[in-house]
């Protein structure tokens, strides 16, 4: 009897709300009541429920299909006509659709929410999330406050929306507060919320907290793992990334790709190739991003032997460069960096679809190899004959071409038109190109003026370009200004100190050299050791460091070099002693110069390759003046083509001349 009475009471109560409460809520409520043992028949009002459920599902699918505000308003009219305007479920869906289409939260979506009398946490969350997505974090937070005032307990989606918003604006302290609230109110952390927390801490640069959340999560999914692995990669901590990756129980393509691209981003190409190989061995098929990562690793290694393998992998995985613009563009970049700009041009021409990245890679590739005219022609073709809009990277390529060819006036014109005609804002990187262009041409004061009038705060690259130019033109006064700024912006980058040292040395100012050396010592900075390498026919890499005593062929290499020096001397070669930035005796300087790593690599290549073969040498640091002259003359006496890549650009030495025209 008691059971019966309760049942009829509930049903009349429910009927009173039947037009106001959404069907999902009704059935939810019924389920709760069944659980409480208060009714035993869930179908107390089966027809109404059924009809309302049908209407609701039709309305939500209509909302899913909406592509504009006008359509939404039509569906909204149906919502009202069919009596669903008090349904939290439908109105939540409506607000989420409005958010998806970028309709501002004020006034429409918010007003719709306020008109609902009994709001549930999902409805509140839709509005909170809407504000958060639209970048209005303070209003999202204030909505959260209103919701709490109404006594509504947030759900995990509420927190994930707020945490995500804190992450995207980098507000760590607010993020922490919501982190604490999550635990206080829900007592546990779902995988989804946990992942958002990791994301928050990663975006705020707090890797330790991100790791702590990860370690304390009761349950994790592959997203939790890869999020953290990728974050370690971005933070430059590949050891932690690798440690985490090895513990990941099931390694999917996303996780493998995070490792491959992580190593590429951190300039560890050999490791990237290793992981790619392991991925293949484990039976996971590479996707486009992983293949592009592999190609970038080959580009960093600069070895054409790997280049062939990269093309093979791209084709085998079904990503032909002609049909896949990402792969095509990556291959153009790779061939350019491997010293084979001809092959880069072939790939470019074979591509059916080209975008701004393909053009930019090609322009930059031509520029790096000193083919300035072709780079500029391609740029003009792109802006006149295609609908592709140039971007920052395109202009970096174009200005690099002008810089390496000494085309000052053209570079100036292009720099001016960049903003006026193409709407590309000058960035620090573009200013760097401009300073480089003027600096190389010896217009150091003008370059300094450009920096002073910059519309953005100059970064290390800009001052670095000026300092580099001072080295070429032996100007210690401007060098000191550049160095002063550089040492403030990048106090621990040893390359800057070495550059200043070189400027003093080239001007014969040994006191200056000593003062910089003292500074390096005080700061405890370690010099990056020079290394050059060549890849033999079997794909084996041979590395040469100064002195090269470890190489099995070192005796033969010494012999070859001595012989070569004699032949070059006949052509007028004199060691350029100012290339040694120490106050040493002339004889000491001579013996230091002859051991420069690229010379050792050259001798090795002369000994081990056939006469008709191009010699390709890679170096991690900038080539010195003496080595440049040495290579140029060596290409004449040996009749060999020598392609040399240092950390700045390519030099093609052929018959006693260099593609850079000795302008570098
Ligand atoms: Zn050298
Ligand atoms: Zn050169």
pLDDT at 664: 63
Distance between CA atoms of 503 and 499, rounded to whole angstroms? 6
pLDDT at 549: 65
Residue 617 Cα to ligand 2 middle (Å):
13
Low-confidence spans in the chain with pLDDT less than 50: 1-43
Residue 593 Cα to ligand 1 middle (Å):
6
User: Residue 250: helix, strand or coil by DSSP?
Assistant: coil
Residue 628 Cα to ligand 2 middle (Å):
6
Non-local (6+) Cβ contacts of 628 within 8 A are: 651, 658, 662, 664
Nearest ligand to the CA of 627 is 1
Residue 599 Cα to ligand 1 middle (Å):
8
Structure tokens of 176?
């922490």
Residue 630 Cα to ligand 2 middle (Å):
11
Residue 629 Cα to ligand 1 middle (Å):
9
Residue 631 Cα to ligand 2 middle (Å):
9
pLDDT at 386: 94
Residue 578 Cα to ligand 2 middle (Å):
18
Residue 50 Cα to ligand 2 middle (Å):
80
Q: What is the CATH number assigned to the segment(s) 426-527?
A: 1.25.40.10
Residue 634 Cα to ligand 2 middle (Å):
13
Q: Count the neighbouring beta carbons within 10 Å of the beta carbon of residue 500.
A: 28
Distance between CA atoms of 477 and 487, rounded to whole angstroms? 16
Residue 423 Cα to ligand 1 middle (Å):
42
Residue 65 Cα to ligand 1 middle (Å):
66
C-alpha dist (Å) from residue 342 to 319, 359, 365, 481: 21, 15, 10, 41
Q: Count the neighbouring beta carbons within 10 Å of the beta carbon of residue 152.
A: 18
C-alpha dist (Å) from residue 352 to 277, 332, 389: 29, 14, 18
CB 263 within 8 A of CB 271: yes
Q: What is the DSSP string of 639-655?
A: ---EEEE-SS-EEEEET
Nearest ligand to the CA of 595 is 1
CB 498 within 8 A of CB 490: no
Sheet holding 541-544, edge to edge: 541-544, 532-535, 615-619, 642-645, 650-654, 657-658
Residue 625 Cα to ligand 2 middle (Å):
9
Residue 440 Cα to ligand 1 middle (Å):
19
Residue 658 Cα to ligand 2 middle (Å):
5
Residue 115 Cα to ligand 1 middle (Å):
76
CB 213 within 8 A of CB 197: yes
Nearest ligand to the CA of 656 is 2
Nearest ligand to the CA of 624 is 1
Which residues on neighbouring strands pair with residue 533, listed in sequence order?
A: 543, 618
Non-local (6+) Cβ contacts of 285 within 8 A are: 253, 317
CA neighbor of 316 nearest in space, from 280, 351, 265: 280
Nearest ligand to the CA of 630 is 1
Nearest ligand to the CA of 577 is 1
Residue 541 Cα to ligand 1 middle (Å):
21
Residue 625 Cα to ligand 1 middle (Å):
7
Displacement of CA 290 from its chain's centroid (Å)? 14
Q: CATH 1.25.40.10 region(s) of the chain? A: 426-527
Residue 514 Cα to ligand 1 middle (Å):
21
Residue 637 Cα to ligand 1 middle (Å):
19
Residue 589 Cα to ligand 2 middle (Å):
22
Residue 664 Cα to ligand 2 middle (Å):
7
Residue 158 Cα to ligand 1 middle (Å):
61
CA neighbor of 144 nearest in space, from 166, 162, 119, 118: 162
Residues with CB under 5 A from ligand 2 (ion): 651, 658, 660
Nearest ligand to the CA of 592 is 1
């Amino acid at each position: 009897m008691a059971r019966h009475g309760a049942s009829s009471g509930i049903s009349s109560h429910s009927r009173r709300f039947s037009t106001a409460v959404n069907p999902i809520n009704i059935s939810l409520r019924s389920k709760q009541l069944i659980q409480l043992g208060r009714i035993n028949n869930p179908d107390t009002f089966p027809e109404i429920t059924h009809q309302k459920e049908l209407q609701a599902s039709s309305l939500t699918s209509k909302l899913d299909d909406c592509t504009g505000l006008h359509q939404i308003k039509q569906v909204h009219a149906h919502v009202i006509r069919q009596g669903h305007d008090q349904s939290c479920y439908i109105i939540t869906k409506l607000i989420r659709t409005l958010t998806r289409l970028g309709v501002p939260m004020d006034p429409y979506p918010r007003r719709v929410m306020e008109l609902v009398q009994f709001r549930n946490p999902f409805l509140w969350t839709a509005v909170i999330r809407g504000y958060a997505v639209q970048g209005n974090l303070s209003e999202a937070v204030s909505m959260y406050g209103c919701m709490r005032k109404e006594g509504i307990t947030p759900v995990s989606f509420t927190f994930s929306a707020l945490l995500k918003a804190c992450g995207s604006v980098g507000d760590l302290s607010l993020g922490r507060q919501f982190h604490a609230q999550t635990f206080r109110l829900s007592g546990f952390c779902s995988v989804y919320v946990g992942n958002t927390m990791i994301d928050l801490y990663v975006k705020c640069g707090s890797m330790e907290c991100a790791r702590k959340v990860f370690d304390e999560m009761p349950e994790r999914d592959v997203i939790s793992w890869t999020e953290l692995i990728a974050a370690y990669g971005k933070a430059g901590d590949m050891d932690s990334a690798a440690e985490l990756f090895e513990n990941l129980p099931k390694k999917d393509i996303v996780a493998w790709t995070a490792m491959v691209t992580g190593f590429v981003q951190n300039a560890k190409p050999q490791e990237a190739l290793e992981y790619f190989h392991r991925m293949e061995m484990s039976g996971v098929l590479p996707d486009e991003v992983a293949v592009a990562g592999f190609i970038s690793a080959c580009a960093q290694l600069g070895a054409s032997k790997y280049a062939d393998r990269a093309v093979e992998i791209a084709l085998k995985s079904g990503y032909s460069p002609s049909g896949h613009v990402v792969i095509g563009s990556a291959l153009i970049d790779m061939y350019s960096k491997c010293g084979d700009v001809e092959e880069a041009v072939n790939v470019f021409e074979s591509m059916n679809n080209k975008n701004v990245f393909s053009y930019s890679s090609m322009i930059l590739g031509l520029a790096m190899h000193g083919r300035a005219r072709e780079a500029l022609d391609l740029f003009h073709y792109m802006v006149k004959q295609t609908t592709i809009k140039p971007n920052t990277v395109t202009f970096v390529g174009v200005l690099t071409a002008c810089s390496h060819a000494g085309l000052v006036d053209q570079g100036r014109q292009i720099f001016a038109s960049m903003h006026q005609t193409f709407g590309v804002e000058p960035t620090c990187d573009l200013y760097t190109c401009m300073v480089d262009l003027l600096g190389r041409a010896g217009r150091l004061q003008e370059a300094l003026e450009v920096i002073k009038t910059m519309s953005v705060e100059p970064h290390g690259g800009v001052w670095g370009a000026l300092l580099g130019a001072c080295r070429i033109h032996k100007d210690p006064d401007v060098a000191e200004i550049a160095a002063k700024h550089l040492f403030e912006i990048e106090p621990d980058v040893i390359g800057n100190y070495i550059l200043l040292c070189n400027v003093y040395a080239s001007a014969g100012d040994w006191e200056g050299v000593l003062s910089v050396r003292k500074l390096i010592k005080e700061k405890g900075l370690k010099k990056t050791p020079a290394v050059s390498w060549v890849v033999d026919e079997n794909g084996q890499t041979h590395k040469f460091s100064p002195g090269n005593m470890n190489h099995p062929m070192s005796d033969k290499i010494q012999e070859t070099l001595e012989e070569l020096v004699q032949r070059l001397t006949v052509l007028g070669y004199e060691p350029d002693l100012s290339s040694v930035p120490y106050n040493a005796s002339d004889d000491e300087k001579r013996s230091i110069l002859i051991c420069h790593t690229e010379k050792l690599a050259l001798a090795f290549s002369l000994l081990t390759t056939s006469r008709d073969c191009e010699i390709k040498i890679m170096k991690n640091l900038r080539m010195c003046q003496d080595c440049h002259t040495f290579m140029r003359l060596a290409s004449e006496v040996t009749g060999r083509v020598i392609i040399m890549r240092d950390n700045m650009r390519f030099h093609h030495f052929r018959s006693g001349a260099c593609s850079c025209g000795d302008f570098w």
